[in-house]
Amino acid sequence: METFAGAPGSDGDVAVLTEIVAGFESVEAALTAAQVAEVRLLARAGRLAEHQAAGAPVRVRAHDMALRSIAAEVGGVLRVTDRTVQMRIGEARDLVETWGATLTAWETGRITRGHTRLIADVGGIVPAARRAEFEVEAIERCSRDTPNRVRPGLEILAERLSERSFTERHRDAAAGRCVRVVAARDGMSDVVATVPTVIADGILDRLTQQARAVIDARDADEADAPPDLRTVDQVRTDVFTDLLLSGAPALDPTAHGDAPGALGAIRAQVQVVVPALTLLGSDDGPADLIGRSPIDADTARCLAAHAPTWARVLTDPVEGTVLAVDRYSTPWRQRRYLQARDQHCRFPGCRRPALRCDVDHTVDAATGGPTALGNLAHLCRRHHSLKHHTRWRVRQRGGGVLEWTSPTGRTYREDAPTPTVHFLPDVLPTVIPAVVAVSEPAPF
């Protein structure tokens, strides 16, 4: 550990602090230079994809394939998924091609990365003709204060320069409506729906009214029933999940006259890995919701208990490779085995659950590739088409190991994930049919 000469609080200490602060200054400059260089490289990668696709008969699709392939190549080096790289390429191109003066201000240290993001984000609504005007003013304000403090002023400025009405902007914003799940801690997740404000308020109001009705009804219940002590928040959440998991949408294009449509009959599917000891109840370790995050042992056991059929997979305790699968008819057995072996898409870094993937022939069946375990692997739609339409190549090296080769010749070894046992229940207490996987070492 470093020791400092001189008495505590002396001039010697001030000299050391001066040196540390100067160090930060030069590190900050080096970081900025590296980050700006990365932004420029990402933007170049995006332009290269566009160039590659020029002249292709189906330009939009060709551009997307070229971009995916390049993003996967860059992702391999940066060790992030190609989806992430593709998003960052989009942001980088926006900065380089639309916000040049802002990028220069960042590069020369007038503003920071946070300011740069803020200007590009808030300035999105400013029409091209007035962008330069906005940029000059925004950079000036950013150079004097932190991003959080400048944001409100910049939002007002952008609003003033924007020629579009609130109605027009709302129409665009509503086109970006979406639902996503964000993993939280302790086996919980947030379901986030971005919807028009009036719909959001309506949803909360209906849930609240329904929750109050549930609470009123329970007061009238017979006395010998176990007491329902749920809070309004809890009941509201239970009604919300119940409606979404078991309800049928009012507008169902598959309905004929008064006959109900097919949408209400569709059941949710999730894919879970449970360690064998947890299943037996001798261990309370968490199970794994494939592609997401851990779930608690009780939920995992509940899922497994309601699985009418399942295939057990024995695994080598040392190598971890799959040794045997319980008896099933061949196609089923093969599919179960593959789901147990792969668990998720087998492109490097991808975690899309096998349940939502295609089974791909590594060597195409049309060119003589057999429908055998050593020639099959799960790929999500995105990576399935990447394999077929770009210069990414894959080989099977035995034992479920896949070797991917990028267009520039870099190779990535993709080992099979921890082997597992699979269940395929039809119905759960909470109407979630699921694929449950149990990892279990071989008994020797």
Can residue 383 be called a binding residue for Zn ion (CB under 5 A)?
Answer: yes
Cβ closest to Zn ion, residue 300 vs residue 345:
345
> Helices 82-98 & 11-53, crossing angle to 10 degrees?
100
Can residue 134 be called a binding residue for Zn ion (CB under 5 A)?
Answer: no
**Binding window for Zn ion (CB under 5 A); candidates: 27-35, 176-184, 188-196, 383-391:** 383-391
The helix (H) or strand (E) run that includes residue 192 is strand 189-194
Closest contact distance (angstroms) between CB of 378 and Zn ion is 8
How many residues sit in the footprint of Zn ion (CB under 5 A)?
A: 6
Amino acid at 175: A
User: Strand, helix or coil at 438?
Assistant: strand
Cβ closest to Zn ion, residue 118 vs residue 345:
345
Cβ closest to Zn ion, residue 157 vs residue 345:
345
Question: What mask, x for binding Zn ion by CB under 5 A, covers residues 316 to 345?
Answer: -----------------------------x
Residue from 380, 424, 435, 436 in contact with Zn ion (CB under 5 A): 380
Closest contact distance (angstroms) between CB of 305 and Zn ion is 31
**Binding window for Zn ion (CB under 5 A); candidates: 69-77, 165-173, 220-228, 351-359:** 351-359
User: Strand, helix or coil at 223?
Assistant: coil
Residue 435 phi/psi, 5-degree rounding, is -95, 120
Cβ closest to Zn ion, residue 306 vs residue 346:
346
Cβ closest to Zn ion, residue 88 vs residue 352:
352
Cβ closest to Zn ion, residue 335 vs residue 383:
383
- What secondary structure does DSSP assign to 283-348, as a single string? ----EEETTS-EE-HHHHHHHHHT-S-EE-EEE-TTT--EEEE----HHHHHHHHHHHHHSB--ST
Tell me if 337 sits within 8 A of 313, measured CB to CB: yes
Residue 72 burial (10 A CB sphere; 0-12, 13-18, 19+): buried
Can residue 347 be called a binding residue for Zn ion (CB under 5 A)?
Answer: yes
- The contact set with Zn ion (CB under 5 A) reads 345, 347, 350, 352, 380, 383
